[in-house]
A and B are shown apart, each in its own frame.
Chain A
Amino acid sequence: MKHSSGQPAILLLEDGTFYEGRAAGAIGTVTGEICFNTGMTGYQEIFTDPSYYGQIIVTATSHIGNYGVHEDEEESDSMKIAGLVCKKFSSTFSRYDESTTSLQSYFEDQNKVAISDVDTRAIVTRIRDKGAMNAIISSEELDLEKLKAKLAEVPSMNGLELSSKVATKEAYELGDSDAKLRVALLDLGVKKNILRCLADRGCFLKVFPVDATYEEMKAFNPDGYMLTNGPGDPAVMTSQIETVKELTESGKAVFGICLGHQVLALASGLKTFKMHNGHRGVNHPVKNLITGKCEVTSQNHGFVVDIESLKDNENIEMTHQHLNDGTLAGIRLKDKNIFSVQFHPESSAGPNDSRYLFDEFIDNMMKVKKSSGELAEA
């Protein structure tokens, strides 16, 4: 093995602080909103999660890339993060599966820029205290003034609609068309594992683009609707909010995850706001207020449903709450088979504690089927 220090790179934050480190991945310049993730495993899942679209991710854990990259661990067809900030970007990897490749080649192939060997803990602390902000990473331009000028052009995440950048353009079907349940998904930036979790439970899926209308989705004759995760500010997704309103009146089961949950909440008259610095990690404690049980959840969100707005709403019940900061983590519509959660029951990366929510969705679809008499016929 030869010694190599790598090329210099620089990270500049909106507030003017900058960090000098080493270039990793492709050589270049990227901008985006900087946020941190505290998970110790699952880097590939994070990098390919569409909810991270346009964001520069700081991984708090010390080492990234140790076990390489593997196609089974992709949550979408490509990396969605804008760039990566890490402490140690592993130059070697170890995995006995021969189809594994290195993180470095993965970044190079997808032309993604990263900076390593910076004080990530200091950066996390700064974001924690100052809140989410824009940032720029460059390994080709080290002049701070030029970087500042470039950074000034980057828009704020607040008020940005991003789902259309990552969601499917064309509707597509997935799974066994003879399956007993049919689910129509409104793709706001879906993670592959949501599809797997539903398919594994015997659902035939049709994934619709972000601008799909209620009529188009209804035509699939689904037993339930799935509102997926995705990036961006939910409050500006007015047409989706309207579509979801119609879904909630359809009498069918509805399940929302993350951005899907926020859109459902907005469609039901609740409010959302941008958090100081969001929740991103795989160790978020949530309490199920219905069962009294706690679960460790995977989370990734910068916006949240306002718990205050729930107080005036008689039709909605809070089902889950975050144990650290008391924020709202899940709701259900009273007297309806409709619920949603802020966290990621499909995890990947993260614990599988909340997979039962997919089973509940299945149960809800069965209930609807039964009450509408369809099941008896079958």
Chain B
Amino acid sequence: MPKDNSIKSLLIIGSGPIVIGQACEFDYAGSQASRSIREEGIEVTLINSNPATIMTDKVVADNIYLKPLTVESIEEIIAVHNIDAVLPTMGGQTALNLCIECEKIGIWEDAGIKIVGVDIDAIEITENREAFRGLMDEIGVGSAPSATAKSFLEGKEIAQKLGFPLVIRPSYTLGGTGAAFVHKKEDFDELLTRGLHASPIYEVLIDKALLGWKEYELELLRDQNDNVIIICSIENFDPMGIHTGDSITVAPAMTMSDKTYQRMRDMAIKMMRAIGTFAGGCNVQFAVSPDANEDIIAIEINPRVSRSSALASKATGYPIAKIAAKLAIGYNLDELQNQITKSTSAFFEPTLDYVIVKIPRWNFDKFQGSDRTLGLQMKSVGEVMGIGRCFQEALQKACQSLEIGRNGLGADGKELRNQDELLDSLVNASWNRLFHVYDALKLGIPHETVFNITRIDPWFLSQIEEMLAMELEVSKFTIDTIGRDLMNEAKQKGYADRQVAHLLGCMESKVYDKRNEMGIKRVYKLVDTCAAEFPAVTPYFYSTFEEENESISSDKKKIIVLGSGPNRIGQGIEFDYCCVHGVIAAKELGYETIMINCNPETVSTDFDTADKLYFEPVFWEHIYDIILHENPIGVIVQLGGQTALKLAGKLEKYGIKVIGTDFAALDLAEDRGSFSSLLKNMEIPYPEFGVVENAQEALVICKDLGFPILVRPSYVLGGQKMKIVINEKDLEHHVIDILKDMPGNKILLDHFLSGAIEAEADAICDGKDVYILGIMQHLEPAGIHSGDSFAVLPPYNLGDLVIEQIEDYTRRIAVELKTVGLINIQFAIKDDKVYIIEANPRASRTVPFISKAYQEPYVKYATQVMIGDKKVADFDFKPVRKGYAIKIPVFSFDKFPNVNKELGPEMKSTGEAIQFIDDLKDPFFRKIYNERNLYLSQ
């Protein structure tokens, strides 16, 4: 059926602030969907409370509402716009829940709005485990045996029937709270009691735990004509027992025969058809028994775009959200074109001639006291994807993308070699299990032992053993004796030059030179959905070491934008927002834009964001090879957060132009000593500070500074390991604690201005003129990380004198640092005197927030300034200043029940929302103002 012409105006619901389990993949989905529907001539209205999103930009939708995701907001929107249909499948569970709530009240019906892309009944079935299991029985699809217990006795009976291991899930709790595995009978009574008490209705669901079963996911698309295709099969490296969002996953499935795969495919299609009639995307999860029967059991089905569908889109090149949106408005798959080849049909199943590996990124260090074991609840905050021509290469590239201070998987001298610790880590899987599997095999713990503990498929374990065997072979040689074949093999297996250098005992640069001498060079291959069967037009590349290169370098003027890597606390979607706008701005100026990033959840890695996408680790070796291949006029580092910024020095060293602010200025701002001397010369106040290398020095210097003292390692983001101490004992303890984790790091001690007010400013500078985008006053007193503070734009009670100081200092510092582009400066205000806490000549977390609040494209302006196309004076700034905008920090503490929720200098929030108020009498503002001291830690 062609497009449904009754739809002239459509509403898309976003997913709100980033929390664990619902991250920027929904910005990617929402943006794609919105563009896809707009190109059909349909007006798109979008609601999302998250300001750091591309989807809430003018470039994406017609009408944008940065409003809380509530029924009231929806009512407000439909009172203004003549909406014909609502698409709730692009904003995760948040959007679906809001849609259902509105449906129950009758809002959609009253306004004559139809729900497209999903069937409400389908959602209900998939959310209700009992109903889901009943339906699976009806259609002959196996599901895990389970039953509901409303009493202790009932629970005991169920356990006796099902046998162990079991899962206990309290009913009606959020985010899997209180859910637990029960491995043996002795633990059951206690966990059952706890589960029943955790449930507000004294009820638990008890399932048979399929621990160790193989785990798979399929991504489906269906149209109104009931045509179904499978976009991607994904195999979990970590079998059942670890949440799929916390599992390392591989596509395509590696260890499944065609017979079993086709059975699974048939079941998935049957399930999608059984839950309801709707046109759109769907994700199905399965467990396969690790025995000769290969029994397949359905775990769950999600009738919407998901984290996995974002991954599947990036893994295959098939833009699921874009096509799902078209299906929602009536198109059939066979009426649409494959977006990658532009010559074949959208009704087909992508086929891969490469392998992708996704590894989650955790941030346990931010949640002191949290249970770091992986299990039923998702705990990761981001993810990376590595693409390679074989599993090993993809695995190494994913490890190189993680930014956890490693050069890949192993071969860096950082292996754990304690047998007991390793075995314990294999049993109690945490963020480092992959590394410990490698270490265990390297230490000689037998394959069978590792398998028996982890149940990771033997094929994957053999792949790692093969890598270890090759490492051993390489280490028999030196840089002068290694042969071409072996060097080539190491590179084809994804080993970084640094890793090879470690094995050969030489410098990285020697390996680089040697392999180039040997003619072992990176080539770039296309992600084309069809394994080269058809010519493809989409410039989406990954690197490998083979013969043919497919990325033809043009002779246009090019600019590379470095992405921000995996999401983590302190560096999230805000930087992707900045990168995307940087790309768009450079494109508009006529440059060929090249994006390098490895985060599959992002808009920046969408194949139609930049002119060319290199889905590669933001890791020096990969970046340098791309630069040599493309020969850009320069590289933009100030938009991609610390990930990109920390590569500036290396770029400078290799004679590659850093676009915008020079490396020297970036470095100066990072170096506390030089920066303070600069402030001193400029007669700008800053808190007294000292730099120490050990606890002894700290104890001396603290006498001059006076307590309280803010202690932190230098060169970190998001306030990692930052703490306020009030006496010598605590000071000594924390300094030693930092050095334990970061040996050799310099430590900064600042006199902490207790009771001060904090503020921050973002500005654009062209080297001479400065324009201050906005000044934000933090609600909480000093001591809470700026990322965790409520920030009010503009300041709500700073005096004119203070504002003048802030403006004056911002201007002078920006110019003094020779800033070309963006700068963010943080201030502490005490007794009407303004002190500088820090200055960062780069895009900050708050730039998207100010851009949204004032409705001006500041990243675009900054990019034009960076490139040198425009000066600050060339812009006609017209910020929409009306009332106040409040940035609300959002936390994911529900995932870490045992963590101290008090806030401090170390950032803990995962996302943010924006709220507009007309004046300070606003009840929301009054509430947060009155509670402002509540969370402050000592």
Contacts and interface: CB of A to CB of B under 8 A. Distances in A.
Contact of A38 (B351, B389, B459): B351
Given A323-B347, A349-B258, A128 B533 contact: yes
Interface residues of B, number: 65
A285 interface: yes
Interface in B457-484: 457-459, 462, 465-466, 468-470, 472-473
A326 B155 CA distance: 60
B353 A63 contact: no
Interface string A274-297: 000000011111010000111010
A294 B532 contact: no
A119 B391 contact: no
Given A283-B349, A324-B348, A94 B257 contact: no
A62 interface: yes
Contacts of A4: 469
Interface residues of A, number: 60
B486 A5 contact: yes
B434 to A, nearest CB: 18
A40 B389 contact: no
Interface stretch (A64-72, A158-166, A305-313, A330-338): A64-72
Contacts of B353: 38, 60-62, 87, 120-121, 124
A40 B259 contact: no
Nearest to A98: B292
Contacts of A315: none
Interface in B734-765: none
B428 to A, nearest CB: 25
Nearest to B464: A1
Nearest to B463: A92
A287 B334 contact: yes
A97 interface: yes
A272 interface: no
Contact of B227 (A36, A117, A124, A294): A294
B530 interface: yes
Given A38-B351, A40-B351, A293-B227, A61 B532 contact: no
A178 to B, nearest CB: 29
A5 B489 contact: yes
A42 B344 CA distance: 24
Contacts of B486: 5
B465 A73 contact: no
Contacts of A92: 458-459, 462, 466
Interface in B261-276: 261-262, 265-266
Contacts of A187: none
Contacts of A117: 492
A61 B469 contact: no
Contacts of B530: 38
A191 to B, nearest CB: 13
A294 B351 contact: no
A2 interface: yes
Given A38-B531, A60-B531, A128-B532, A94 B469 contact: no
Interface in B281-323: 290-292, 294
A319 B103 CA distance: 43
A93 B470 CA distance: 19
A285 B532 contact: no
B525 A323 contact: no
Interface in B354-385: 354-355
A312 B531 CA distance: 37
Contacts of A213: none
B457 A1 contact: no
Main secondary structure of the interface of A (DSSP, over half): loop
Interface string B35-75: 00000000000000000000000000000000000000000
Given A61-B252, A283-B350, A347-B262, A3 B546 contact: no
Contacts of B256: 41, 67
A63 B255 CA distance: 10
Interface in A81-140: 87-88, 90-98, 117, 119-122, 124-125, 128
A19 interface: yes
B548 A323 contact: no
Contacts of B290: 96
B16 to A, nearest CB: 36
Contact of B259 (A61, A66, A72): A72
Nearest to B338: A324
B531 A61 contact: yes
B390 A88 contact: yes
B352 interface: yes
Nearest to B262: A352
Given A349-B258, A350-B258, A128 B348 contact: no
Contacts of B532: 60, 121, 124-125, 128
Given A1-B465, A42-B258, A119-B547, A284 B292 contact: no
B351 A351 contact: no
A287 B391 CA distance: 35
A348 interface: yes
A296 B348 contact: yes
A175 interface: no
**Most chain B C-beta atoms within 10 Å of own C-beta, residue among A40, A61, A293:** A40
**Most chain A C-beta atoms within 10 Å of own C-beta, residue among B253, B353, B485, B492:** B353
Nearest to A277: B533
Contacts of A348: 258-259
Given A67-B257, A96-B290, A283 B351 contact: yes
B438 to A, nearest CB: 13
A290 to B, nearest CB: 14
A39 interface: yes
Given A62-B391, A67-B255, A352-B262, A94 B348 contact: no
Contacts of B489: 5
Contacts of B259: 72-73, 348
**Most chain B C-beta atoms within 10 Å of own C-beta, residue among A117, A293, A324:** A324
Contact of A125 (B230, B351, B485, B548): B548
B266 A63 contact: no
Contacts of B696: none
A33 interface: no
Contact of B266 (A40, A98, A352): A352
**Most chain B C-beta atoms within 10 Å of own C-beta, residue among A3, A98, A125, A323:** A3
A62 B485 contact: no
A43 to B, nearest CB: 8
Given A3-B470, A293-B227, A38 B355 contact: no
Interface in B439-472: 457-459, 462, 465-466, 468-470, 472
Contact of A122 (B345, B351, B548): B548
B496 interface: no
A329 B344 CA distance: 16
A94 B292 contact: no
Given A3-B472, A62-B390, A296-B349, A122 B546 contact: yes
B120 to A, nearest CB: 26
B445 to A, nearest CB: 14
Contacts of B535: 128
Given A3-B469, A121-B546, A61 B258 contact: no
Contacts of A233: none
Interface in A48-76: 60-63, 66-67, 70, 72-73
B352 A40 contact: yes
B548 A63 contact: no
A122 B462 CA distance: 28
A223 interface: no
B627 interface: no
Given A60-B533, A63-B390, A87-B389, 14 more contacts: A5-B486, A19-B547, A41-B257, A67-B257, A92-B459, A95-B257, A96-B292, A120-B353, A121-B525, A121-B531, A125-B532, A323-B345, A348-B258, A350-B262
In the A-B complex, the 5 residue pairs with the smallest Cβ-Cβ separation, listed nearest first, are: A42-B258, A122-B548, A94-B459, A323-B345, A60-B531
8 contacts: A1-B462, A40-B352, A41-B261, A60-B531, A94-B462, A296-B348, A323-B345, A352-B266
